[in-house]
Amino acid sequence: MGLQGQKDGVRVSRRRESTLNFIDKVRVFVAAGDGGDGCLSFKHEKYMEWGGPNGGDGGRGGDVWFTAASRLTTLMDLHFRPHVDAGRGGHGKGSHKHGHRGDDVVIPVPVGTLIYREGALVADLHEDGQRWRAGEGGRGGRGNWSFKTRLNNAPRLAEKGGPGEKVTLDMELKLLADVGLVGFPNAGKSSFLARVSSARPKIADYPFTTLSPNLGVAYHKHVGFVVADIPGLIEGASEGKGLGVKFLKHVERTRLLIHLVDPAGYMGEDPLDGVKTIEGELKRFSSKLATKPKLLVLNKMDLPEGAQTLKTLKKKYRGILSISAATGDGVNALLDKVIAELAKHDGPLHFAEKTVDDSVHKVEQGFVVENLGGGHYVLRGKFVERASAMLDVSLPEAINRYQHTLKRIGVDRALKKAGIQTGDRVRCGEFEFEWSNAPLKRLNQKRGDGRTRIGIGKK
């Protein structure tokens, strides 16, 4: 498929580039760092036959953080690098040497980024510098020095590092601005933004010149405010027609809307009917947009039909203002009105309400047993899965301790209630063991050859 002329070819190329550079939705895969393994070590010195345990603990895994940065306006970096991994904790060593903590990863995102987990909103980064921990690093495994007790002063026991948190997050950007510009394509929104700020959006005489939101900072009478220009709306935009529906969310958080009207109308539609069309699309997209304070402004008063259109609109809308973004006529009066309206509605912008409250720690059920049939069972639960992941199956004492832990919290009783029999398999996370109804015995600490009740192996 060839390009139809150089001008059209350049236009297509620019549109693709603009669409690519502005990305406001992305899925991110977060993996916090695993904890380091604990060390199994004993002190060895001349003339000291029983030096005692001296294995250090493993270091904690690194966390993954997201922080709001005002210098960013798009999620493009995460779009091309969606996998975020933190550093693993160092392993413990002998002589009581603990492993180093894994490196944290801090990912900057634009101010106004919403973060969802399994469809629920978990974070709203609406302030510059605001941080949120997306993944918690795994706990470092304890070395045998940490297990020394009065009854067991030579433990042959150490833990593996705990797994770091792994989550899939959906991120959505809603730009933060004080004033949002809405209207039909070619209503002069980009021209107005260029007139009142140092922003230089693309301006042309064909529809949908603006392909992505533009932000500009306007200053008037020592008052500064941020103006957002989004692609033009058309009838049916709230249902997906045109380009505006993709970006209407970027004006949801503004304190004031400026509805710009072209006196020539759009595609043969009367300007008065066009105003009703835009208001209807805003209402259908969001009830908050429909009730947001608005200024109706007739632009392009330098056109011949400007004066007559203004008379017609004043019969329906008394508070309508008129400007010419091209010549600057009426712009100062409009800016006076803007700062007056912003003063009336001074306060925090609308922020999303989180559906998950991180300040409330929900107590989860300790574990759940599921019978899959055919002699296979699944054991689920944050505590038991972490204990299984940190178990070193090569150490008999570790296996014995794991068995007593499961019995202490009631896993034995729950499995028997579910109908488990000797020889059945139980899976917990990535770990699987064979069940036995034989009585549980403790290891002989001197010989270290005690019998275990379950046969355990890697899945």
pLDDT band at 292 (very low <50, low <70, confident <90, very high): confident
**Which domain-ending residue is among 117, 141, 173?**
173
Q: Looking at the domain assignment, is residue 431 inside a domain?
A: yes
Same domain, 132 and 198: no
How many domains in the chain?
3
- pLDDT tens-digit profile of 178-236? 888 888 888 888 888 888 887 666 554 544 555 567 777 888 888 888 888 877 665 54
Same domain, 226 and 340: yes
Tokens describing residue 220:
């008037």
**Which domain-ending residue is among 173, 202, 227?**
173
CATH number at residue 192: 3.40.50.300
Tokens describing residue 87:
């550093």
Out of 2-6, 110-114, 274-278, 395-399, which region has the weakest mean confidence (pLDDT)? Answer: 2-6
Range among 147-161, 202-216, 221-235, 356-370 with highest mean pLDDT value: 147-161
Same domain, 282 and 337: yes
pLDDT band at 29 (very low <50, low <70, confident <90, very high): very high
For 47, the domain range is 24-173
Same domain, 86 and 208: no
Given a contact cutoff of 8 angstroms between Cβ atoms, the answer to whether 58 and 37 are in contact is: yes
Q: Looking at the domain assignment, is residue 219 inside a domain?
A: yes
Same domain, 229 and 207: yes
Same domain, 335 and 431: no
425-428 sheet: strands from edge to edge: 368-373, 376-380, 425-428, 431-434, 455-458
Phi-psi region of 95 (alpha: psi -120 to 50; beta: other; left: phi over 0): left
Residues paired with 38 in a beta bridge = none
CATH number at residue 452: 3.30.300.350
Distance CA 415, CA 127 (A): 49
